[in-house]
Amino acid sequence: MKMHIGGQWVDRSEKIEVLNPFSGSVIDTIPRASQQDVEIALKTAERGAEIMAKMTGYERYEIIHKVSEIMTERVEELAQTITLEEGKILAEATMEASRATEIIALSAEEAKRLSGEVVPLEGGPGVKGKFGFTIRIPCGIVVGISPFNFPLHLVCHKVGPALASGNAIILKPATDTPLSALKLVELFLEAGTPPEAIQCITGAGSEIGDVLCSDKLVRKITFTGSREVGEHICHTAGLKRVTMELGSNSPLIIMPDADLEKVAKAAAASGYSNAGQVCISTQRILAHEKIHGDFLDAFKEQVEDISTGNPIEASTKMGPMIREHDAIRVNQWVEEAVNEGAELIAGGERNGQIHTPTLLSNVKSEMKISSDEVFGPVVGVTSVDNIDEAIALANDTDYGLSAAIFTQNINWAMKFAREVDSGNLMVNWGTQWRADLMPYGGLKSSGIGKEGPKYAVEEMTELKMVILHLDD
Ligand code: NAP
């Protein structure tokens, strides 16, 4: 495919191949953008931002809503593209495409709701004859940088709110999975988005990222990806707004009163979908010693039931990892944990880019498999004596994106919600759950700011304060 910059579809002689992670075959190519291409995109976005800011909320709503209608008709086609470039099974890709459609529909609604509020200035001592109110205006140019693992859904969380707020957006999708984003741009253009207001630049983040993120024309960066790249962007961005949606090693606590069959099913869904390549995958299970053995038996059965293979075939429950070197890294971390005393209960094998669903017990928090983000199909179980130990271990990490507890005890549940350092807290379900309208984002090294169209719009707009100094 071509990239979309300067208000048109553009090709370049230097290309990057997009590979099918299961077969290794080339499914398409994309242009490798240069720093000059970034300059073109920035200049164009200046014009795009002016055009968008002049549109009424309803005009923006009409365009974005139309995109959601077109997407609804093309969910199957979008899902096929996701599976081909990313490697997740078709059922998960279909869910991603449907949810992406919903994000765009939610964003369209937000375009109608940009508002301010009256500030009761005369509530302050000695203030008389003043009337104050706030107004929200678009930031201007938004840069949206997305990771490989949700190539459509996470792009929609950036482009939908950015355009709803009246900004222009420059997208920089992951180089491994750029096709879904490019197809989405086609749909936005088909629905009538001004071509200067939506651009998608393809190429290596390490080559074009700094020029894009450091430019003063850019007023807002919304980034989803690894902590390392997120921190790098924060350093190069300078004084501008940033939203950082970064990684995690999410904990799940099981108390002795939990329904173990339900936990085992939820933990399997939460730990292994998309081969564990989800930022809120369950990675660390902290099981009360009274149910530890029974839980392991129930969970092992679930894990061994996850078949691997070609993600496009309906019988496959888990596909490949995105790159072979990631599968190799995960396998090395598993071996290292076993050498340090962890017990391999299931899986532990690698065949090319496929890593079998793996379950370890006797995991210690200092093992890499627990302390770092695995981002692969591995879950580690640790036995704990009580709720205090479980919460202390849950918090024994730099991350804080999602955490879960299974219990029927309201006091344990509320203690967990208050004391675990995490942006998302699940009671009686696994860590991997998200409704796209909710505020979503991490604490500590898992990030800054919130996504979810209503909340992203707040982060992509500036609040101005107006004060009328009235005559008596
Ligand atoms: P990544 O390596 O950090 O890449 C993310 C994006 O950043 C890609 O588009 C990449 O481009 C770009 N990039 C790389 N270097 C850059 C630079 N110097 N300046 C600007 N952009 C740059 O992450 P990934 O491997 O694709 O995704 C996995 C990570 O994302 C995991 O840590 C996961 O937890 C996190 N994640 C978080 C959330 C969340 O909501 N919190 C959701 C999903 C994923 P290239 O592809 O060209 O390198």
The mean pLDDT value for 215-239 works out to: 98
Q: Are 168 and 197 in contact (CB under 8 A)?
A: yes
For residue 149 and ligand 1, the question of a CB distance below 6 A is answered with yes
Closest CA to 182 of 218, 205, 155: 155
What's the CA-to-centroid distance between 225 and ligand 1, angstroms?
Answer: 3
Using most ligand atoms within 8 A of CB, pick from 208, 279, 283 the residue to mutate for ligand 1.
279
Q: What angle do CA 185, 458, 420 make, to 5 degrees?
A: 105
Q: Are 396 and 286 in contact (CB under 8 A)?
A: no
For residue 422 and ligand 1, the question of a CB distance below 6 A is answered with no
Q: What angle do CA 74, 375, 362 make, to 5 degrees?
A: 140
pTM over 0.95: yes
CB-based contacts of 19, cutoff 8 Å, min separation 6: 25, 26, 27, 176
CA-322 nearest atom, ligand 1: 25
354 residue type, one letter = I
* pLDDT tens-place string over residues 79-124: 999 999 999 999 999 999 999 999 999 999 999 999 999 999 999 9
* SS3 assignment for 237-263: HCCCEEEEECCCCEEEEECCCCCHHHH
For residue 83 and ligand 1, the question of a CB distance below 6 A is answered with no
Q: State the residue for tokens 């129930």.
A: 298
- List domains and CATH numbers for the chain: 3-246+442-468 (3.40.605.10), 251-427 (3.40.309.10)
Within a 10 A sphere around the Cβ of 453, how many other Cβ atoms? 27
The mean pLDDT value for 359-387 works out to: 98
What's the CA-to-centroid distance between 223 and ligand 1, angstroms?
Answer: 8
Q: Please determine, for residue 261, whether its predicted confidence score (pLDDT) is greater than 90.
A: yes
Closest CA to 159 of 195, 200, 214, 196: 200
For residue 452 and ligand 1, the question of a CB distance below 6 A is answered with no
Exposure class string for 346-367: b at 16+ Cβ within 10 A, else e: bbbebeebbbbbbbbbbbebeb
For residue 373 and ligand 1, the question of a CB distance below 6 A is answered with yes
For residue 224 and ligand 1, the question of a CB distance below 6 A is answered with yes
* pLDDT tens-place string over residues 170-215: 999 999 999 999 999 999 999 999 999 999 999 999 999 999 999 9
Question: What is the rounded CA–CA span in Å between residue 437 and residue 369?
Answer: 32
Residue 373 — left, alpha, or beta (φ > 0 → left; ψ -120 to 50 → alpha)? beta
Using most ligand atoms within 8 A of CB, pick from 229, 282, 402, 436 the residue to mutate for ligand 1.
229
For residue 235 and ligand 1, the question of a CB distance below 6 A is answered with no
For residue 374 and ligand 1, the question of a CB distance below 6 A is answered with no
Using most ligand atoms within 8 A of CB, pick from 157, 158, 226 the residue to mutate for ligand 1.
226
* Average pLDDT, rounded, for the chain: 98
Token duo for residue 227: 């902590």
Question: What is the rounded CA–CA span in Å between residue 447 and residue 359?
Answer: 28
* pLDDT tens-place string over residues 318-332: 999 999 999 999 999
* pLDDT tens-place string over residues 397-436: 999 999 999 999 999 999 999 999 999 999 999 999 999 9
pLDDT band, very low/low/confident/very high, at 287 (cuts 50, 70, 90): very high
User: What are the residue numbers of the active site?
Assistant: 245, 279
pLDDT of res. 4: 99
Residue 462 vs residues 43, 138, 236: alpha-carbon distances, Å: 21, 6, 21
CA pseudo-torsion sign 138, 141, 146, 151:
positive
Q: Please determine, for residue 472, whether its predicted confidence score (pLDDT) is greater than 90.
A: no
Share of the chain above pLDDT 90, in %: 100
Q: State the residue for tokens 């208050």.
A: 418
pLDDT of res. 227: 98
Question: What is the rounded CA–CA span in Å between residue 247 and residue 447?
Answer: 8
What 3-state DSSP class applies to 468?
Answer: strand
Q: Please determine, for residue 144, whether its predicted confidence score (pLDDT) is greater than 90.
A: yes
CA-147 nearest atom, ligand 1: 26
The mean pLDDT value for 21-50 works out to: 98
| Helix or strand run (H / E) with residue 61 | helix 57-73
Within a 10 A sphere around the Cβ of 433, how many other Cβ atoms? 15
CA-245 nearest atom, ligand 1: 41
CA-210 nearest atom, ligand 1: 19
DSSP state for residue 308 in the 8-state scheme: B
202 residue type, one letter = T
* pLDDT tens-place string over residues 342-351: 999 999 999 9
The mean pLDDT value for 240-257 works out to: 98
